[in-house]
Amino acid sequence: MSKPDQHQLRQYLRLYLVMGSVNCTQPPEEVLTSAITGGITLFQFREKGVGALTGQAYYQLAESLQQICREHKIPFIVNDDIELAIALDADGIHVGQEDIPADQIRARLGQNKMIGVSAHSVAEARQAIQDGADYLGIGPIYPTTSKADAEAVQGTRTITALKNHQIHIPLVGIGGIHADNAEPILTAGADGIAVISAIAGQNNVEQATERLNTLTKHFIANQ
Ligand code: TZP
Ligand code: MG
């Protein structure tokens, strides 16, 4: 898949599933397949936390989730691991402030891959954009139990601040987002929502995804 233009990237960010095996109560391949049926628009492989797979099992899970994404034309993004992203020819990578800067990633991955960067302030956003980020992840918007080292909860204030500073790069909110609290994030100007537990942690993954799909689609259609 070639790199989307900015308009297409905003559409991909609408309903972004971030997930690894530790986030799933059912086999990850089943969770991802149900989430795709329910309407996710982008996927990030994030195999982190207590009990995360390593070595061969890590690589094989990444490969099998990427295959499912390919079959359904959902872009496959790798969290942090540039070597994995290169080995799999992933569609992109997402990095945090503590990871390799976007300019160094760009130098290795080339122009044809998406680079997402987590940013928590206008200064971090400006730096990421200067380094060549294609989109920014902003969070945690709400309290989350899915990331042990999450920064302070910020609500929608960073999204609003970025808009007030004329920063118009594609944005996705993350952290504690579910169907009943998603709308303020879109109202503040994000292109979409990124979730772990609101999809991967649900008993009925397809139904939970459909609800978020309908809500985000409806919001964007009525903008
Ligand atoms: N980055 C900021 S919050 C977070 C990440 C990866 C975790 C989001 O998980 P959940 O379950 O949607 O709160
Ligand atoms: Mg990271």
Judge whether 147 counts as a catalytic residue.
Answer: yes
Cut 0.95: pTM above it: yes
Ligand number nearest to the C-alpha of 95: 2
223 is in an annotated binding site: no
Nearest-10 Cα torsion for 48, 50, 54, 60: -70
Testing ligand 1's pocket by substitution, the residue of 45, 144, 199 carrying the most ligand atoms inside 8 A of its CB is 144
37 is in an annotated binding site: no
Identify the three-state secondary structure at position 203: coil
Predicted confidence at residue 1, as pLDDT, reads 86
Nearest-10 Cα torsion for 73, 137, 38, 223: -100
Please choose, from the candidates 27, 25, 77, 22, the residue with its C-alpha nearest in 3D space to the C-alpha of residue 50: 22
Closest ligand 1 atom to the C-alpha of 147?
Answer: 7
Predicted confidence at residue 220, as pLDDT, reads 86
Task: Please return the burial class of 56, using the count of CB atoms within 10 Å of its CB with bins 0-12, 13-18 and 19+.
Answer: exposed
**Of all protein residues, whose CA lies closest to atom 3 belonging to ligand 1?**
175
Amino acid letter, 204: N
Closest ligand 1 atom to the C-alpha of 144?
Answer: 13
Instruction: State which residues of the chain have pLDDT below 70.
Output: none
- For the beta carbon of residue 26, count every other beta carbon within 10 angstroms: 12
Judge whether 46 counts as a catalytic residue.
Answer: yes
**Mean pLDDT computed over every residue of the chain:** 97
Testing ligand 1's pocket by substitution, the residue of 16, 185, 196 carrying the most ligand atoms inside 8 A of its CB is 196
145 is in an annotated binding site: yes
Predicted confidence at residue 192, as pLDDT, reads 98
- d(C-alpha 180, C-alpha 193), whole Å: 12
